[in-house]
Amino acid sequence: MFQKVLASFGSGGARLDARLLDRSVSPGRPLRGEVLLLGGEVDQEVKAVGVTLLARVETPGDRPEYSDLSFGDQQIASNERIQPGQQVRLPFEIQLPWETPISSVYGKPLSGIAVGVQTTLDLGGTVADPTDVDAAAVEPLPAQKRILDAMSRCGFTFTGAALESGRINGVTQQLPFYQEIRFAPPQRFAPVFTSVAVTFLSGSAQTAVVLEVHKRVRVSKSGGFGGRGQDFLGSFTVDHAAVDRIEWEKQLPAWLHEVAKSRGIFD
């Protein structure tokens, strides 16, 4: 009896070990994994085993706050009993939303982004076991990768990435947060821009690309720039099937040159 009491508080009770089977995955694709459920010292009722997609998201403000937000979940077992020492292997496949943030590019983790799968074990009539979280390597879709490659070839330097809570005006957005991939401008744009952020809002056939440009503001009649800045937003749509038909190394600078004018296309 004492063992059952201890098990209800996690001592000698059932536990789990989860792992992802896919080394990398892309938005809109299924992510495969498996959970190994290990029996403890006594029989126990397993109320539920589930997996949840999590992202570390920033709430902007004077003092930014961070929280782990769920953006998808799946139950993989329920109402089972597990015997002492028993091992049960539970495979799972959870579909990633098309707007899943990118966390890896060409196999290298994207600084500032934390995306993963949380596994939970709920034991009926007891406290839930501690959670298990595994980081997921989410690589960009081909269209997203093409835009990022073009930014790099145009001389923009990656400076970081972040997930921010909220929505972007003027575009269709499914998740309650969005990703910014930030770049410092090359020398030809540096006198006008301090930074450029790229946001991808993808669907099955198209990706909306949002550019947020932090532009220096003219403060004198002679045309000089001050220390203040102003953000300009613009967006365009990329058809996944036609992404390679456009010479993005010319198209992206052309749009940004328009923004650099005293009245840009994103005003």
Assigned domain for 265 exists: no
190: tokens are 């540096």
pTM for this prediction: 0.85
Distance CA 140, CA 101 (A): 9
Of 223 and 49, the one with more pLDDT: 49
Q: Give the pLDDT of residue 128.
A: 52
Assigned domain for 42 exists: yes
Domain count, the chain: 2
Taking only the tens place, the pLDDT of each residue in 1-28 is: 323 333 443 445 688 889 999 999 999 9
178 shares its domain with 248: yes
201 shares its domain with 128: no
- Of 131, 51, 121, 53, the closest CA to residue 91 belongs to 51
Considering 103, 135, 167, which residue would you say is the last residue of a domain? 135
Taking only the tens place, the pLDDT of each residue in 139-162 is: 999 999 999 999 999 999 999 999
DSSP string, 165-193: ES--TTS---SSEEEEEEEE--TTTTTTE
Assigned domain for 267 exists: no
Assigned domain for 236 exists: yes
CATH number at residue 100: 2.60.40.640
28 shares its domain with 116: yes
Dmax (CA) for the chain in angstroms is 85
Taking only the tens place, the pLDDT of each residue in 39-88 is: 888 788 888 899 999 999 998 877 878 999 999 999 998 888 888 989 99
Distances in Å between the Cα of 32 and the Cα atoms of 5, 53, 75, 238 are 35, 12, 14, 28
- Of 122, 123, 124, 105, the closest CA to residue 113 belongs to 105
Assigned domain for 266 exists: no
Considering 135, 153, 169, which residue would you say is the last residue of a domain? 135
Considering 89, 111, 135, which residue would you say is the last residue of a domain? 135
Its domain, for residue 112, covers 2-8+15-135
* DSSP annotation of 87: E
Contacts of 100 by beta carbon, 8 Å cutoff, 6+ apart: 27, 28, 53, 71, 115, 138
**With the C-alpha atoms ordered 203, 206, 207, 211, is the resulting torsion angle positive or negative?**
negative
Amino acid, single-letter form, for residue 78: S
